[in-house]
Structure 1
Amino acid sequence: MGGDMLEVFLNEARDLLEQLEAALLDLETRPNDRELINTTFRALHTLKGSGGMFGPPAMAAFAHELENAFEKVRQDKAPVTPALVSLLLQSADQIRKLLFESDGDHSAESRRLADALLAEVADGAAAPVAAASGAAQPAMQAAVAETLQRFRIRMSLERSALAFGTNPLALIDELRDLGTLSVVADTSGVPVLEELVPTDLHMAWDMELATSRGRSAIDDVFIFVDGPDAVRIEELAAEAAPAPVAAPAPVAAAPVAAAPVASAPVAAPAAPAPKSEAPVAAKAPAKAEAPGEGKAAAAEANVRVSASRLDMLLDQVGELVIAQARLSALARNRHDPVLTTVAEEIERLSSDLRDSAMGMRMVPIETLFGRYRRVVRDISSDLGKDIDLQFSGEETELDKTVLDRLGDPMVHIIRNSCDHGIESAERREAAGKPKRGLLRLSARQAGTEVVITIEDDGAGLNRARILEKAQAAGVVPEGVTPPDREIDELIFHPGLSTAAAVSNLSGRGVGMDVVRRTITELHGTIEIDTRPGEGTRFMLRLPLTLAIIDGLQVAIGDAQCILPLTSVEECVELAAVETRASGGRNFVDIRGTLVPLLWMNEVFGTAERGAIVVVTESEAGKLGVVVDQVVGQHQTVIKPLSPLHAKTPGLVGATILGDGAVALILDVNPLARFVGQPRADRIAA
């Protein structure tokens, strides 16, 4: 098997496992949700099918046993219990090991989980019948006389089916598992020996199947079969089952109809497709579409591209934007109408290309938040605490590279919030709190930053214990009591932990220092706000370090600077508005709202005060940035600063202007701290 196909299979398997985990976590709170049951079954079925063609045999066999066990749930022969969900989540972890950890023997753990699952569904198999009330007895008695459905199936696969991994005998075996199957091989297409190609498929099969599982189960068998006429399914007259069946018949109101896969080896639909009476492989023609048209659209819906290629594309687009800016400047200087027209057209095209390239890298943060549902569930189970997890701002988008690196730091913070922050049910009740703890994850965009907040309603940081541990470790001298804010920051000191004992969750003092180091490497900051008895909030601020943004170019003395356009509200002349002074601070009256002024000449150390107020929106509210001149809008390619300047407050990066000059990109949130200072630290020479 080629490396590309293996990589596609592994990527699709990761997606399927994430989908399976999310469905199981939802199923734990909504055990009777038929759609979630179908989604879980399809994920298991697809993992089994794709694993049989591309994955390790042990993984395919294990997934097959999981599917068989969960089939009883889908047929309403066993209930969804917390124990079953826990076993299935452990099984999903086991599939990951079988796929991505080739070293070691995992067969014993696979056998243990498979046996435990079979025992769990067997123990609960009688529950629906035993719990039936007297009013429900007529329905149960009607279910005893189950009816078998009969189907005539013609399987005529494409000649290239064998070369692409399809095993027709395995498909026949799966049909045989559904009921009573008769098979007649059609060998009329087999050529003479001299013309026979061993890798081509020349046979077809005519089959009749009597099953109680319904049409949807047959559709699942042929989920990977391509070709408009590869499979034809005809429903025949039903017949009574020869023996009564005690369990209720499968729920026909919510069938599972799997869509065919065009080219990718693994496919997992996001929602159950409606039941169709057309053959599985001929669904597109049944809707009066051209053969394969529906599959082509599905195949084009998502294309996997490596992150390195996206980085290269964005770098090239950035250079194109810089070149376009030089062309526009040249057109303005030469006053050539033809050149100006071409420059404007290229500017429009480069702007569209920039937006498209940026959109490819941006990912909703819900893909990150979704991972922590399982983390919080497992931690709360280990600690014996009931913890609710709430999300907000999941639609906020973040660069995928940054998103991927945030995974581990946020896990450390969440673990600490659950372990150290949120109290036990008894302590919470004694403190007048609800027994269930609450953990909130939120995200929002603020100017050039994405702000991610992790907040719990626990006891807050124990400053006395933190200080005691810090003094015992020699981090803080004996007898010295730092301010509260500095004590809070001590939790990021390497090797410092307040845990009473080492456990699998905490105690060794590693984790929070890694959090700070990772956030710093991303040119972000982390802030702590704790309230004794009420909870703790961690706020991660992540600036844009490699992006293309719309900016407002301004002049401050001889320096050219860029303000992100997303934070700019309006520009007014200083002479045209009323200014006031209070407590050493200057304000400007903007339609009845007093806006504090930041004199950029003091920040940059220039002699003359500016004449234009750029009204911006910062974390602290509105801020009037006073500059000498507003040059105009500018497409800004953010270039990282040197290590010498990277930690300068108020600077996000730099960019190259059309004339080749360097302009500094300003961030209004750190700049707001300079307001009212008699002499702000300079951010530029």
Structure 2
Amino acid sequence: MNAAVDSFVEEATDILDGLEKILLELEADPTNTGTVDAVFRALHTLKGSGAMFGFASLARFTHPFENAYEQIREGTAKVTPEIIQLSLASRDHLQRIIAKGPDAENSDIQDPTSLKLVEKIDVLIADQTTRNKSTGAIRAHSTQSQRFLITFKPHESDMRNGMRPDLLLAELEGLGEAHVTCSAAGVPPLRELDPTVCHFCWTIELTTSAGRDAIDEVFIFASDSAVTVTPLAPDTIDMAISQPAPGMERNAIGSGRMLKSDENLTAAPPKSDSVRVQAHRLDELMDQLGELVITQARLNRISADLDDTSLAETTEEIERLVTGLRDATLSIRMLPIELVFGKFRRVARDLSAELGKHVQLLTRGGETEVDKNVIDSLTEPLVHIIRNSIDHGVEAPDARLSADKPERATIVMQARQSGGEVLISVSDDGAGLNAEAIRQRAVSRKLIDEDQEVTDEQLHQLIFEPGFSTAEAVSSVSGRGVGMDAVRRVIDDLRGTVEVKSQPGRGTEVTLRLPLTLAIIDGLLVRVGNNPFVMPLSTVEECVELPPDETARQSGRSILRIRNKLVPFLRLDTLFGFERVENDDRRVVITSVDGRRLGFVVDEVIGQHQTVIKPLSVYHRGIEGLAGSTILGDGSVALILDAAAIVKRAQAAVRTAA
């Protein structure tokens, strides 16, 4: 049963995440009947399944909110900002109820928070109903009762998954007048009895005004083959039970269900198109795959040394299979970044209301896929960025109007893929960063000298220093100088970078550059001096020869002309301080960094290499320009180069020299 409860908790969490998104959409369009129906279905599903798995308090708390949205569906009430706010608070309370786990046996105690929220929703709906009756605004709707014949025989898997037929029957009785008959004809002899299978079958005559949809929602978690619902005319139910129609026969277990003689009595339950996998198992699979890739590289090297045709063919086939397995496994770990974006609509809504500002959050590129481990780490830094944007960046409504800006500010979260990176930006149309205030604060903290010349880009990076803040007072939202420091710490752990662009009076844009995956990449193996390096293949455009005149050049501008276009290049041996090896056959690896082409001079291009990313040792973590390490086929270690970081390192060296 524990496994079934865990499965319910996961599914309920997904429903609550979706419910928050639906409620925010309903707030933007209160008259959308489709969205109202979606809210009602989510609440009904939580109520029914919660009672089934022992969360009785959840079912009791959800019931009045389900009734409220039923009245909204029928037109006796309407969506208001107060109802949305109360619904969001109730959604948060449902999350807390689920986190506590199933209720104690025979527990009917309801906590004060639940009672208070239920009382508020009852008052809001009652007030609306009273007003609607006084103005004649109640929409007429049919209350004509219908009769249904329902046969219910749980499938074997239903009971093992935690279904409780008694709770489902009780919910049916709540829809109207129900006459329930139980058949034990299908119970086998004791020696053949399986205690995990329900052998009973129920026949229910239900008279209700709720309609067929309400009955279907009661059995939403039951197998399709377990339930049959037949609408009946007022005087046909007795005949339907006692007199099978021609060509029909009773179910062998005596349920009274009508079946064609050739119908399969043991129809399999519908198959699911997805399966839940625990995250640690996926990580274990990725670790094992990484070791397989390394072993396959060793096999390639052994095959090349032995020069055996049969071994070479087998090695190529294994490499093809490993590559396919790698791509399939990585695709499993890739998730749309909308999973993260969806969480921040509520953050922006609540925070803007708390600060008395009008802010709309727009998201773009939510379909961009990123490694699951990257997504799991993004929530904290993005929350800090959005909170700072709303608190410090966005002006108060009167200040925006005086600056000829719309009263409602706009924050845009956008994701896009660029080569082997994903770029996530958060931009606002607020006041921008105050460069002078940042400079004064940096001088007071002795981060820079008072007469030191610092570019705007360098000043903007200072906001990520621990404890750095220009706020005059500490609020409940920000001002302690820990938020942006946490952003950089998380992004550094993900081997990413943070960029800040700001224009006074026009807003600020913070961009996070992150790798698509933290596990395995396609790389280009090169040699600089006697040292092997790997460059991410996603950033490599081409490889060209280094002209002899450039090889002999000791100083001056390092620029190549490639197809009538000038491309600057860097010498990696000089940059890393390696002893230069005499080599007239050097290559330049042309990469694309931030949309600009840049070349890296290497002594040899060895070839493509499947790179399993390993963390750097404690001696290399502080070296700018290294993104990780990998193990080669001969057991040696190669460092993975970070092209963007190398460019920044070179630019810093030039500025220092100047």
TM-score range, shorter chain: 0.7 to 0.9
Please say if 1:522 is aligned against 2:494.
yes
Aligned AA (2:111): S
CA 1:511–1:667 in 2, change beyond 3 Å: closer, same or farther?
closer
Which of 268, 291, 304 does residue 332 from structure 1 map onto?
Answer: 304
Give the Å deviation of 1:56.
3.3
Aligned to 1:449: 421
Q: Secondary structure at the match of 2:145?
A: strand
Q: Secondary structure at the match of 1:147?
A: coil
Aligned to 1:215: 212
Q: Secondary structure at the match of 2:598?
A: strand
CA 1:6–1:294 in 2, change beyond 3 Å: closer, same or farther?
closer
Partners of 1:489 and 1:675 lie apart in 2 by 17
- Superimposed CA distance per residue, residues 623-657 of structure 1 (whole angstroms, 9 cap, x where no aligned partner): 12222222221111111111221232221112222
CA 1:677–1:493 in 2, change beyond 3 Å: closer, same or farther?
closer
Partners of 1:469 and 1:541 lie apart in 2 by 27
**1:50-89 to 2 correspondences below 5 Å:** 50-89=49-88
Aligned to 2:243: none
Aligned AA (1:630): V
Percent identical: 45
Q: Secondary structure at the match of 2:614?
A: coil
Please say if 1:170 is aligned against 2:147.
no
Give the Å deviation of 1:83.
1.7
Aligned to 2:119: 115
Which of 233, 246, 252 does residue 229 from structure 2 map onto?
Answer: 233
Aligned to 2:604: 629
Aligned AA (2:330): M
Give the Å deviation of 1:458.
0.6
**1:189-588 to 2 correspondences below 5 Å:** 201=198, 203-226=200-223, 228=225, 230-237=226-233, 295-296=270-271, 298=272, 301-466=273-438, 474=445, 483=454, 484-485=456-457, 487-543=459-515, 546-575=518-547, 584-588=556-560
Normalising by the residue count of structure 1, what TM-score does the alignment of the two structures yield? 0.81
Please say if 1:666 is aligned against 2:641.
yes
Partners of 2:383 and 2:651 lie apart in 1 by 39
Q: Secondary structure at the match of 1:295?
A: coil
**1:643-662 to 2 correspondences below 5 Å:** 643-662=618-637
Partners of 1:641 and 1:193 lie apart in 2 by 63
- Superimposed CA distance per residue, residues 610-633 of structure 1 (whole angstroms, 9 cap, x where no aligned partner): 532222111150112222222221
Aligned to 2:7: 8
Q: Secondary structure at the match of 2:174?
A: helix
Quote the RMSD (CA, aligned, Å).
3.7
8 Å contact from structure 1 (residues 526, 538) kept in 2: yes
8 Å contact from structure 1 (residues 493, 513) kept in 2: yes
Between the two proteins, the alignment pairs up a number of residues equal to 621
8 Å contact from structure 2 (residues 4, 162) kept in 1: no
8 Å contact from structure 2 (residues 53, 163) kept in 1: no
Partners of 2:191 and 2:638 lie apart in 1 by 75
Which deviates more, 347-356 or 390-399? 390-399
Partners of 1:345 and 1:490 lie apart in 2 by 52
CA 1:114–1:389 in 2, change beyond 3 Å: closer, same or farther?
same
Partners of 1:417 and 1:156 lie apart in 2 by 57
Aligned AA (2:90): S
8 Å contact from structure 1 (residues 579, 586) kept in 2: no
Q: Secondary structure at the match of 2:119?
A: helix
Normalising by the residue count of structure 2, what TM-score does the alignment of the two structures yield? 0.84
Aligned AA (2:228): R
Give the Å deviation of 1:543.
4.1
Aligned AA (2:285): L
- Superimposed CA distance per residue, residues 211-241 of structure 1 (whole angstroms, 9 cap, x where no aligned partner): 332211110011122361x3221112479xx
Aligned to 1:246: none
8 Å contact from structure 1 (residues 439, 456) kept in 2: yes
Partners of 2:538 and 2:136 lie apart in 1 by 61
Q: Secondary structure at the match of 1:555?
A: strand
CA 1:578–1:194 in 2, change beyond 3 Å: closer, same or farther?
closer
Partners of 2:393 and 2:151 lie apart in 1 by 62
Which of 149, 152, 160 does residue 152 from structure 1 map onto?
Answer: 149
Aligned AA (1:539): T
- Superimposed CA distance per residue, residues 237-265 of structure 1 (whole angstroms, 9 cap, x where no aligned partner): 479xxxxxxxxxxxxxxxxxxxxxxxxxx
Which deviates more, 12-21 or 526-535? 526-535
- Superimposed CA distance per residue, residues 292-315 of structure 1 (whole angstroms, 9 cap, x where no aligned partner): 55622x1xx222222222222111
- Superimposed CA distance per residue, residues 27-56 of structure 1 (whole angstroms, 9 cap, x where no aligned partner): 111223333223222221222122212243
Partners of 2:652 and 2:25 lie apart in 1 by 52
Which of 572, 589, 595 does residue 614 from structure 1 map onto?
Answer: 589
Q: Secondary structure at the match of 2:430?
A: coil
- Superimposed CA distance per residue, residues 161-212 of structure 1 (whole angstroms, 9 cap, x where no aligned partner): 6665433343233223323334444465678999999886554433333333
CA 1:294–1:457 in 2, change beyond 3 Å: closer, same or farther?
farther
CA 1:577–1:310 in 2, change beyond 3 Å: closer, same or farther?
farther
Give the Å deviation of 1:478.
10
8 Å contact from structure 1 (residues 655, 663) kept in 2: yes
CA 1:431–1:321 in 2, change beyond 3 Å: closer, same or farther?
same
8 Å contact from structure 1 (residues 324, 346) kept in 2: yes
Give the Å deviation of 1:318.
1.0
Which deviates more, 666-675 or 612-621? 666-675
Q: Secondary structure at the match of 1:38?
A: helix
Give the Å deviation of 1:539.
2.1
Aligned to 2:25: 26
8 Å contact from structure 1 (residues 501, 507) kept in 2: yes
CA 1:162–1:445 in 2, change beyond 3 Å: closer, same or farther?
closer
8 Å contact from structure 2 (residues 374, 517) kept in 1: no
CA 1:39–1:578 in 2, change beyond 3 Å: closer, same or farther?
farther
Aligned to 2:253: none
Q: Secondary structure at the match of 1:124?
A: helix
CA 1:189–1:615 in 2, change beyond 3 Å: closer, same or farther?
closer
8 Å contact from structure 1 (residues 147, 238) kept in 2: no
Partners of 1:11 and 1:617 lie apart in 2 by 42
Give the Å deviation of 1:440.
1.3
CA 1:635–1:200 in 2, change beyond 3 Å: closer, same or farther?
closer
CA 1:189–1:367 in 2, change beyond 3 Å: closer, same or farther?
closer
Give the Å deviation of 1:430.
0.6
Which deviates more, 485-494 or 362-371? 485-494
8 Å contact from structure 1 (residues 456, 536) kept in 2: yes
Partners of 2:373 and 2:67 lie apart in 1 by 39
